[in-house]
A = this chain, B = another copy of it.
């Protein structure tokens, strides 16, 4: 490994001088700078971030904690975060928590141990005490909180919108799929939908589910039609479940959207590719990731007047699983 000492020797100066040209601070003579630059190029030197991080007590690393990168909503978030951060020179330490407290704690500890300058987390245990003890900039993503800056889309609004849409389009016997209880945003959109449904002039029923995974989605879809065979409007807990429901509906010979309308949530990329294309409530995942990263960077740089919370707009995307009016 070539170190700053090697460069110093090659350039015939001290390490302090090399460090000055590297960081472009302090006084350095023009020709000295040139010699150093040449030595750096000659030796193909690049500074050891670990040493720098140790002295400065901060790295250029940022910790990103997601529930599960395998769920297609999260790669979008992650990508938004990464694009924004990498443009600003930060790098990503990634963890999947599976909504498991122990894993979450482990990753948080890793982040701290590695001197990350900030953390972005999309998990549900933010009220756990380890976060309190943390004196690091923290931004919640896809989660809201009183105590920390956060970027999220309005779940209640989304739920409201989904329900309104189905009602407006004439659904009479709506089935609402309730997402996992321990996932906050799932509950928000559920409550939003309930709010709208309870005051509207329609029948509705609720199907409780406990996961978002691909493996289980089909099971929920089957259960739904077994329990509520004559439903004519379904609000899915997310697009994965929505697509599974569309699939199962067709399998059972139902016409979409004539017999049954289905509305998803998230607008993951594959919703555009499903058949028929899935109507859904869009969350701007990629942009949410970017905003979270921006917010974190501003917090890190201690810029004044940084917003505590950014609520992203939720939007109805009408495709082919809802009627044309």
Q: Decide yes or no whether A47 CB sits under 8 A from chain B.
A: yes
CB distance from A45 to the nearest CB of B (A): 11
Pick the residue among B48, B78, B114 that contacts A69 (CB under 8 A): B78
Q: Which of B51, B107, B115, B218 contacts A273, CB < 8 Å?
A: B218
Closest-CB distance, A29 to chain B (whole angstroms): 28
**Oligomeric state, in number of copies?**
2
**Given known A-B contacts A1-B57, A50-B59, A243-B273, A91 and B92 have beta carbons under 8 A apart:** no
Q: Which residues of B contact A250 (CB under 8 A)?
A: 275
**Is A75 interfacial (CB-CB < 8 Å)?**
yes
Query: Are the C-beta atoms of B109 and A269 separated by less than 8 Å?
Result: no
A161 to chain B, nearest CB (A): 24
A274 at the interface (CB under 8 A from B): yes
A217 at the interface (CB under 8 A from B): yes
A47 to B133, CA, bound (A): 16
Q: Mark A195-237, 1 if CB is under 8 A from B, else 0.
A: 0000000000000000000100110000000000000000000
The answer to whether B54 touches A51, judged by C-beta atoms less than 8 angstroms apart, is yes
Whether the Cβ atoms of A243 and B270 lie closer than 8 Å is yes
A46 at interface by CB-CB < 8 Å:
yes
A94 nearest in chain B by CB position: B94
Annotate A40-68 by CB proximity to B: 1 below 8 A, 0 otherwise: 00001011111101100101010000001
**Are B93 and A91 touching (Cβ within 8 A)?**
yes
* Alpha-carbon distance A69/B81, docked complex (angstroms): 12
Top 4 A-B residue pairs of the complex, sorted by shortest distance between their CB atoms: A214-B269, A49-B113, A94-B94, A69-B75
Q: Are B75 and A214 in contact, with the CB atoms below 8 A?
A: no
A47 touches B113 (CB 8 A): yes
1/0 per residue, CB under 8 A from B, across A288-302: the answer is 000000000000000
Q: Smallest CB–CB gap between A189 and chain B, Å?
A: 21
Total residues of chain A contacting the partner, CB 8 A: 57
Which residues of A102-135 are within 8 A (CB) of B? 103, 106-107, 109-110, 112-115, 133
Distance between Cα atoms of A277 and B275 in the complex (Å) = 11
Q: Kindly report which residue of chain B lies nearest to residue A76, judged by CB atoms.
A: B70
The closest CB in chain B to the CB of A112 belongs to B46
Does A91 contact B110, Cβ atoms closer than 8 Å? yes
Chain B's closest residue to A114 (CB) is B49
Q: Does A247 contact B (CB under 8 A)?
A: yes
Whole-angstrom CA separation of A57 from B133 in the bound complex: 30
Contact A54 B50 (CB under 8 A): yes
**Bound complex: CA of A308 vs CA of B93, how far in Å?**
28
Q: Tell me which of B1, B269, B273 contacts A247 (CB under 8 A).
A: B273
Known: A50-B50, A244-B273. A93 touches B92 (CB 8 A): yes
Q: Do A75 and B82 touch across chains, with their CB atoms under 8 A apart?
A: no
**Sampled A-B contacts (22; CB under 8 Å):** A1-B57, A46-B109, A46-B112, A49-B110, A49-B114, A50-B50, A50-B59, A50-B115, A68-B79, A69-B82, A70-B76, A82-B96, A91-B107, A91-B114, A93-B93, A93-B94, A94-B94, A214-B272, A246-B275, A247-B275, A251-B275, A274-B275
